[in-house]
Amino acid sequence: MRTAWTRHLFSLLAVAGLLLSACQPAAQAPAKPDAKPADTKPAETKPAESKPATKTDAKPAGGGQLTIAQPADATTMDPGKSTQVLNVNYFYNLYDTLTRWDTDLKLQPSLATAWKNLDETTWEVTLRQGVKFHDGSPLTAEDVKATYDRLLQPGKTIVQSGFATIKSVEVANPQTLRLITDKPDPLVPVRMAQMGGQIYPARLASTDEGNNELARTPVGSGPYKLVEWVKDDRLVMEANREWWGWEGKPPAFDRVTWKPIPDDFARVSALQKGEVDVITNVPPDQMKSLGDGRTTQVLTTPATRTVTFWMNTMEGPLGDKRVRQALHYATDTESIVKNLYAGSGKPMSGGLADTDFGFNPSLKPYGYDQARAKQLLSEAGHANGFDVTLHAGSGTMVNDKQLLEALADMWSKVGIRARVEMMEMAQRQKMNNDRTVPDNGFLLINPQSTLLDADGSLWRLFHPNGLGGKYWVGSQPGQRFHDLMEQARTTLDQERRKQLYAEATQIIHDDKPWLELFQEEIVYGSTKRVNFKPRADYRLIVSEMTASQ
């Protein structure tokens, strides 16, 4: 006989099933789990059937070499210390997570082969057997526990907020562990795939010395292992032939060299000359020439990432929401997308990309209105404007400096005097991690949704316990917003969650605690000897690539 709790649990698993198809717009009907558990057995989430990530006629020959160019070098090899795309690309090649998203953003097994609820706050996870780290040591439940124990400690990493619903981790046996949550959390299987969830040996997770070693010398279990890192010149990986994911097939590329090439046109030139095989951050005005090239191609897809700026709202003019609204009216986002990004992007408002569950299509961007901007500035007591500084790390995104210069020019027309300051990526990462945006300052952050759900973006970014909550709190108490987000993360009724998120996104739309511009589109360039499907989550995973014959 089914109990009320069993019926309740089926609802919870339906929520988890929804996240398997969350790459689609939120308005679509949620996907259902593939199968329901028998009445006499614990409810279990069935992982989606594992399929090849890329559909292509090319067959991996093995032994090939690949060179990838990004705008900047890595700043760390520690997955807990960065969510910047440049670094994340390394993490997902060197390490494994418990679950993973495939190229269609459907949840798949990884280090975890199965997961199920024992009760409403306990998830039991079964680990893949026979997995070894790159140093030859076996990967066990103790390593997962040590990694997660570190993630759950405030201040140890910058990704703790994404795992905040998990209260503790218990080891049942070397291949089984249990994640204990403080409240029912339907998103646990998805949380296991997110940034920062990469697993490393307990000896590197448990001490500060180990953490420091991890930042320099990664020890993961992923498809590639680090063999050389010459700062600002090259980072070289070799295929981990013992990786479980090859499934008996040879890797298409045995050796991968990542090269930092900061200049956009230098990256394009290197691709055209055959010096590199794949480039990120393709300049929009080079898309046509690469796409029409005899040996090159352009690969694009809508992204889960948005172009936004932290602002210090704790004091000064930016503490007044009328000023923040004025900045949006003073910004011609459509012109920026058209002229700087060749139309590759969609103006946004409300804090979410349309790939996130909770996206509110009724919220429209403010639109370009200089008169309204001047009126709001005058009402706020800043008719004569004020001084601001726009900060960005070189290589954060394509045309990042030009973006800042365009904003400065637009804002000057309403009396706001903006200075542009570009910085090295390491300095930018420190400003982001330390939350030290100067007074009247803005920092380009273009955050990426970590869960394909508003919980992985709005809660993570704005809640006091999340990644950047103190800026929101500095703007105003925001208690209604916080209450909405807390209710949504433990509510099992999907329609109710949509309602809660609709009100929360309305608050973001009205109060503008950050500068939000547009949802990105990802653009890669590659030689035609390389085949891969671009991922909406920006992860460039070499094991998903094949080589043309």
pLDDT tens, 256-292?
A: 999 999 998 999 999 999 999 999 989 898 999 999 8
Confidence of residue 467 (pLDDT cuts 50, 70, 90): low
Going along the chain from its start, the domains and CATH numbers come out as 4-64+75-216 (3.90.76.10), 224-301+522-547 (3.40.190.10), 305-520 (3.10.105.10)
Helix (H) or strand (E) holding 481: helix 479-490
pLDDT tens, 156-208?
A: 999 988 898 999 999 999 999 999 999 989 899 999 999 999 999 999 999 99
Confidence of residue 32 (pLDDT cuts 50, 70, 90): very low
Tokens of 286: 């080079």
Other CB atoms within 10 Å distance of the CB of residue 528: 12
What is the pLDDT at residue 73?
95
CB-based contact 433:400 (threshold 8 Å): no
Other CB atoms within 10 Å distance of the CB of residue 6: 13
Helix (H) or strand (E) holding 307: strand 296-311
Closest listed residue to residue 449, CA positions, set 431, 472, 467, 427: 467
What is the pLDDT at residue 48?
39
Residues in the chain: 549
How much is the pTM? 0.74
Tokens of 216: 């320099």
Asked if the model's pLDDT at residue 58 lies above 60, the reply is no
Closest listed residue to residue 120, CA positions, set 64, 193, 182: 182
CB-based contact 534:525 (threshold 8 Å): no
Asked if the model's pLDDT at residue 466 lies above 80, the reply is no
Asked if the model's pLDDT at residue 469 lies above 70, the reply is no
371-376: average pLDDT: 99
* Cα distance between residue 300 and residue 415, in whole Å: 38
Helix (H) or strand (E) holding 167: strand 166-173
As a whole-number percent, the residues of the chain with pLDDT over 90 amount to 67
DSSP-derived pairing of the beta strands 278-279 and 64-70:
parallel
What is the pLDDT at residue 5?
35
Tokens of 532: 């891969």
From residue 177, alpha-carbon distances to 171, 172, 173, 236, 494 in Å are: 4, 5, 7, 34, 29
Helix, strand, coil shares, percent, the chain, to 5: 35, 25, 45
CB-based contact 507:284 (threshold 8 Å): no
DSSP-derived pairing of the beta strands 387-393 and 417-423:
parallel
Listed as own residue / partner, the contacts of 50-53 with beta carbons closer than 8 Å and 24 or more positions apart are 50/108, 50/109, 51/102, 53/102, 53/103, 53/533, 53/541, 53/543, 53/544
